[in-house]
Amino acid sequence: MDNVASLMHGFSVALTTHHVLLMMAGVLLGILVGVLPGLGAPNGVSLLLPLTFSMDPVSAIILLTSLYWGALFGGSTTSILFNIPGEPSSVATTFDGHPMAKQGRATEALSFAFLSAGFGAMAGVILITLLSGWVANFALKFSSPEYFAVYFMTFASFIGLGGASPLKAIVSMGIGFALASIGMDSVSGNVRLTFEFDALLGGVSFLIAVIGLFGIGELLLTMEEGLKFDGVQAKVRIGDVLRTAAKLPRYWLALLRSSIIGIWMGITPGGPTAASFMSYAMAKRSSRHPAKFGKGEPEGVISPETADHAAGSAAMLPMLALGIPGSATAAVMMGGLMIWGLNPGPTLFTERPDFVWGLIASMYLGNVVAVIVVLATVPLFASILRIPFAIIGPIIVAICFIGAFTVAAKPFDIWLALAFGIVGYVFKKLDYPIAPLVLAMVIGDKAEDAFRQSMIFSQGSLSIFWSNPLVSTLMAIGLILLLLPLVGPVARRLRGRTAARTV
């Protein structure tokens, strides 16, 4: 009940004209970055973040989270109409969304996508409302060793569950940690790893990394593939939307299952992309007509969309309550919180309840606003994609570099963004996961501090990570996740051998 009272207070913070206008602006900008290739949610948030440094943190986080919702919706629009996922997390939506659009059921596909996405997001937000206070209270018991164990668990799950080569995940993560340690060392006050370059004294900002890795890198990859926009026209009429909405309850099982998958993948740092693929695969496997999937089956749109948005909103829970972001975008936002002078983690709930509950309330409102705005603006944003890439591509490039410069007004950052762009292109081409790099850059300092403080407590003995049941459990889960990639192939081989013997 305590949470409900806090939430009501949160609504009083979020429901001002100023904040609702910010939500609409954020959603519109979000749809724009979601629709445009090369600009996605993580770098949309990165580009906007420097502009919010002077804003009040509550307004700033409402603007940024609304941009995030908008970007998730924008990504689905292009998936359905153009067969081009605007976001990696909406790739699975193309499988059935675009076939539906080609059969002349574009409105139905879009309405299903947006409404089920709204449902998924709501499920995620309700979970946050119910659990965040409890998780934060639990986390108040944490001290440095427990925090380090939680960070360890986060990165272990990337390595173990990420799907990419574990070695490549380690490389990506290690590069992030190394980059985070450049510049001032917060414990000793030394300036580290600058290699006599003055430009490195202030460290390497994670925002520059995101803009380069996700923005420039993505654009280079888009160019290489030589993309062509070949869209389906769509006009969204209120009547069609309502008719589709009336059909939605029929898919309650898909909605429920996908919400659960999404929430799980959002809290554990699997992220929205993995959630949408997993949800699509589950829907296809459990369907009575799996052959219909890929040819325009509504369930093939509903399942990935619900999971995508459920994961996107659920990723806010570990960020707020533990200070651990569940996705690359959440990592950027968490970096923003620290820049605004807030300390993400359990103490935030007691120190700034207006911020936390204002944000949670804004997630309810923001998603409702997003569904309405996105339905109203589909034709507008679809027409933006008809602008030839020869114009839109260079403009996006200019925006990315200008955004990189606005972070700290350092010309060196422009070069750095270019370097990250090349790294992003190569890493994406060779299947190196990029999210661990960004996460490591954002929480690198915190993880290092937690490790060093633990070492000081224990006088240098690693046994402190096994000193009580809580920290031991966390470390054990981390180790199990870490060993999964080793166990998986062995188990498969053993099973294969027994199967071969029985034949």
Residues that bind another protein (CB under 8 A): 50-51, 54, 165, 167-168, 170-171, 174-175, 177-178, 181, 185, 187-188, 190, 192-193, 195, 216, 219-220, 223-226, 388, 390-391, 393-395, 397-398, 401-402, 405-406, 409, 411, 414-415, 418, 426-427, 429-430, 432, 448, 451-453, 455-456, 460
Structure tokens belonging to residue 239:
């009547």
CB of 84 to another protein, least distance (A): 17
Contact 464, 458 (CB under 8 A): yes
Q: State which residue, 249 or 388, has the beta carbon closest to another protein.
A: 388
- List the beta bridge partners of residue 183: 192
CB of 169 to another protein, least distance (A): 9
Contact 253, 67 (CB under 8 A): no
Question: How far is 56 from 13, CA to CA, in rounded Å?
Answer: 12
Q: State which residue, 177 or 251, has the beta carbon closest to another protein.
A: 177
Structure tokens belonging to residue 230:
């070949």
Q: Tell which residue, 101, 100, 114, 121, has the closest CA to residue 298.
A: 100
Q: State which residue, 120 or 421, has the beta carbon closest to another protein.
A: 421
Q: State which residue, 46 or 276, has the beta carbon closest to another protein.
A: 46
Q: State which residue, 68 or 155, has the beta carbon closest to another protein.
A: 155
CB of 401 to another protein, least distance (A): 6
CB of 412 to another protein, least distance (A): 9
Q: State which residue, 186 or 233, has the beta carbon closest to another protein.
A: 186
CB of 448 to another protein, least distance (A): 5
Alpha-helix residue ranges (DSSP H) falling in 2-105: 2-14, 17-35, 41-48, 57-82, 91-100
CB of 491 to another protein, least distance (A): 20
Q: State which residue, 226 or 239, has the beta carbon closest to another protein.
A: 226
Q: Phi and psi for 433 in degrees, rounded to 5?
A: -70, 140
CB of 175 to another protein, least distance (A): 6
Helix, strand or coil for residue 192? strand
Question: How far is 455 from 458, CA to CA, in rounded Å?
Answer: 5
Structure tokens belonging to residue 246:
């009336």
Max Cα–Cα distance, the chain, nearest Å: 70
Q: State which residue, 165 or 472, has the beta carbon closest to another protein.
A: 165
CB of 288 to another protein, least distance (A): 36
CB of 21 to another protein, least distance (A): 15
CB of 402 to another protein, least distance (A): 6
Question: How far is 348 from 460, CA to CA, in rounded Å?
Answer: 30
Contact 128, 313 (CB under 8 A): yes
Residue with tokens 């103490």, as numbered in its chain: 347
Q: State which residue, 185 or 354, has the beta carbon closest to another protein.
A: 185
Contact 34, 384 (CB under 8 A): no
Structure tokens belonging to residue 140:
């108040």
Question: How far is 113 from 300, CA to CA, in rounded Å?
Answer: 10
Q: State which residue, 148 or 381, has the beta carbon closest to another protein.
A: 148
How large is the angle between the packed helices 106-139 and 353-384, nearest 10 degrees?
160
- List the beta bridge partners of residue 192: 183
Q: Is 336 exposed, middle or buried (0-12, 13-18, 19+ CB in 10 A)?
A: buried
Q: How far is CA 302 from CA 7, 102, 274, 312, in A?
A: 29, 17, 15, 15
